[in-house]
Amino acid sequence: MKTMEELSRSGRWLRQNPDYNKIWREANPGYIKNYNKIRYAANPDYYRRQYIEHREEYRKMHKKWYAENKEHSNQVSRNWARTHPEEIRAYYRNGRLAVLDHYSNGTTACAICGEDNVGFLTMDHIEGGGKKHLREIGRPLAFWLLHQYRKTGVWPKGFQVLCANDNSIKRFEENGYKLAPNGMTKLRSKIRSLLGDCCAICGLDDHRALHIEHLGNDGSEERKRFVGNIYAYYKHILEKAKEEISLFGYCKSYQLLCANHNLEKQMKVQIKEQTKKNKS
């Protein structure tokens, strides 16, 4: 054991050579990590207890560290995500499954029709008001719920699992008629009958669940051009569809999909874009 004098001497020496620890760590990469790992593996219960006992202090410490090293920390996370796309996808998949499982009482199925294809399932605000809430939280509802649960240990109440079709029908019954400006309902039904009046994949013909889908990759571009003027947007779709049908005998740019198949397609596109982003 070192005497007090030696300790204070080494303390003084360290103060005079403040970069020593950093240089040593760089010269021995992984040493401390490995050392901590071995210590932890030898007595995991002790460290777990230690953490629970001093949770608040650890949190404060980490918060302070994060505030001082925000850029660096985010860069490390981004790099990790880029090199571990499979883990990231599994994390989101498992998180979403946990949420769906909890809010469907373990059935992982739609509360109305019993649809159990997880690709079709969505989270629903039982009492409505979802649009406003989603704007407030600014991220997918399922991940917000998961985050709340991890933070507080309690699942927020007032949510259920619905398939995208039943969610769409419910939303339409709640405010579909109210939201549609004058003439919109007619315009939409004209477009639907041009496009075959049913889902191009499964043939569902309930208009409350049908969505117009862009076959090209110009959907968001086109929507941007008509932002704030939804009537002109649908008018444009109608004219374009008419023109294409008279030219080619079918519509090249749009098709009708039920909400379920629309959701499935959107998710595929998202995964594709994410993969592309990770590669670049």
By CB under 5 A, residue 124 contacts Zn ion: no
Work out the number of other CB atoms within 10 angstroms of the CB of residue 255: 19
Are 168 and 122 a contacting pair, CB within 8 Å? Answer: no
Q: Which of 24, 80, 84 is nearest to 72 (CA)?
A: 80
Work out the number of other CB atoms within 10 angstroms of the CB of residue 60: 11
Q: Which one of residues 258, 259, 262, 263 is an interface residue with Zn ion (CB under 5 A)?
A: 258
Question: Would you mind telling me the total number of residues written for the chain in this entry?
Answer: 280
By CB under 5 A, residue 261 contacts Zn ion: yes
Closest distance between Zn ion and the C-beta of residue 190, in Å? 21
Instruction: Name which of 164 and 191 has its Cβ closer to Zn ion.
Output: 164
Work out the number of other CB atoms within 10 angstroms of the CB of residue 253: 17
Instruction: Name which of 32 and 202 has its Cβ closer to Zn ion.
Output: 202
Instruction: Name which of 205 and 222 has its Cβ closer to Zn ion.
Output: 205
Q: Which one of residues 161, 166, 234, 259 is an interface residue with Zn ion (CB under 5 A)?
A: 166
Distance, CA of 111 to CA of 265 (rounded, Å): 22
Q: Tokens 């949770």 sit at which residue? A: 55
> Residue 139 gets which letter from DSSP?
S
Site string for Zn ion, 80-119 (x = CB under 5 A): ------------------------------x-xx-x----
Number of residues in contact with Zn ion under rule CB under 5 A: 12
User: Which amino acid appears at position 133 of this protein?
Assistant: H
Closest distance between Zn ion and the C-beta of residue 121, in Å? 8
**Interacting residue ranges for Zn ion, rule: CB under 5 A:** 110, 112-113, 115, 163, 166, 199, 201-202, 204, 258, 261
